[in-house]
Amino acid sequence: MTSLSLTSVPVFADYNSVLTDYNFQYTNYRAAYSRFTVSRSTYLTYQTLTAQNAAIADFKTVLTSRNRLVSSYFDLLQEKMNITPNIDPPDLQAFTGKRQSTKEWLDDNQKKLNNALTIEDLNTLSDEFNSRYQLIQLDSLQAVGRILLAKGANLDRKVALAFDKTQEVAQFLSADGTDISPIQRGLIQAKIKRDLSTDKAAEEKDLFFGKNATRGNQINLLQGQQLAIAANQYLRESVSYVLEILKPIIGE
Amino acid sequence: MADPLNAKPMEQKNYLLYIIAGALVVLIIMAVIGVVVGTALIVNFQRNLKPVATTKVEPTPTLTPLPGKKYASDSAVVKLRDELIKLRTEIDTMDYFEAQIVPPSLDSKIRIE
């Protein structure tokens, strides 16, 4: 009989180090943004040269920290996808390409940022980021969608294996002279639940990668997470059915 | 010849006949009302009676013969059960709200104007 592989996925050191860096960049960004809002307010109030220089310095810092945060976030998603089972290699490669493209754009933006001298220059560079932001959001939300779908697909694969194994046990019992009709009925019920889970997963996939998402509409991440949970719940019910089938066989 | 002393006047006889006929009609009406009201009361009383509890003999379900504890220690069956319990736990603990990978909250409109 085939054996189910239920060992949990190991968390690689790369993921942990990238996560640490991401958290560090996030903290930096929040602090930089707070400083920027104060110096901007001071500059707009007093309009002095000193206040202007401080505002430009903090403006540069916050834009730099935002670029670093986005770059770090894409690294985090990449590592997360690498360690998540059941992500198709073409999907993984596609995200690697998007990550590379985003990082190149951020590098280019950063070079201009380093050379910027005036508030107008910085406003222009910030606007460039805003124009790019919609694509950054789409790429990152779709990467999260891939991770959520892969998690569900991984569990679904294990449930399918469990069905096969239960069927094997049923055949063994039948050969031993046991009436296996209750097992067959239970398996049909379990498969119906698994089909419902598949339907929810299809809705989830459509949310992240369907026409609405690619037309530039904001992907509703919470809705995607809720669909993933609904699919998960049906899988749970499916496994519970199979366990109920086994109870009388074991004599529980 | 009729005794003029015993003879009743014609008008008095008619008057008595009217009274007897009227009394009969009233009696008949009262009898009809009595029958109708009585019937209604009986019907109403019967409706208000609580049904007498009856014991239904339900058919005894035929149980599918179960193997009992014959396979309680069968390694393949027990292993499958254990793996399924682990799988259900894995499903229960799957985190779909992983906060770490949710996009960071950015202030996209950073400007000085």
pLDDT for residue A248: 82
Q: Please report the ipTM that was assigned to this predicted complex.
A: 0.85
Check whether residue A23 and residue A46 sit in a common domain. Answer: yes
State whether residue A144 sits within 8 Å of chain B by CB.
Answer: yes
A4 found inside a domain: no
Kindly state whether residue A3 falls inside one of the protein's structural domains: no
Least confident piece of the model among A61-75, B55-69, B83-97:
B55-69
Q: Are residues A180 and A204 in the same domain?
A: yes
Show residues of chain A in contact with B64, CB under 8 Å. Answer: 179, 181-182
Element (H, E) at A227: helix A221-250
Same domain, A189 and A227: yes
* pLDDT of A227: 98
In a domain, A6, yes or no: no
Classify residue A7: in a domain, yes or no: no
Contact A169 B103 (CB under 8 A): no
Our count of domains for chain A comes to 2
Assess whether A140 and A49 both reside in one domain.
yes
CB of B77 within 8 Å of any CB in chain A? yes
Would residue A176 count as lying in a domain?
Answer: yes
Are A129 and B108 a contacting pair, CB within 8 Å? yes
Which long-range contacts does A175-179 make (Cβ < 8 Å, 24+ apart)? A178/A249, A178/B67, A178/B70, A179/B64, A179/B65
Question: Is residue B36 scored above 90 in pLDDT?
Answer: no
The single residue listed with the structure tokens 């202007």 is A52
A219 part of a folded domain: yes
Is the Cβ of A223 closer than 8 Å to some Cβ of chain B? Answer: no
Query: In B, which residues are within 8 Å of A240 by CB distance?
Result: 88
Are both A46 and A119 inside the same structural domain? Answer: yes
Instruction: Indicate whether A133 and A39 sit together in one domain.
Output: yes
pTM: 0.76
* CB proximity B15 to A under 8 Å: no
Contact across the interface for B101 and A249, Cβ inside 8 Å: no
User: Residue A7: how many CA atoms within 13 Å on its side-chain side?
Assistant: 5
Domain encompassing residue A31: 13-144
Whether the CB of B82 is below 8 Å from some CB of chain A: the reply is: no
**Is residue A131 domain-shared with residue A242, that is, in the same domain?**
no
Of B68, B94, B102, the CB nearest to A221: B102
Q: Residue A143 contacts by C-beta under 8 Å, 6 or more apart in sequence?
A: A77, A81, A95, A98
| Alpha carbons A142 and A137: distance in angstroms, whole number | 8
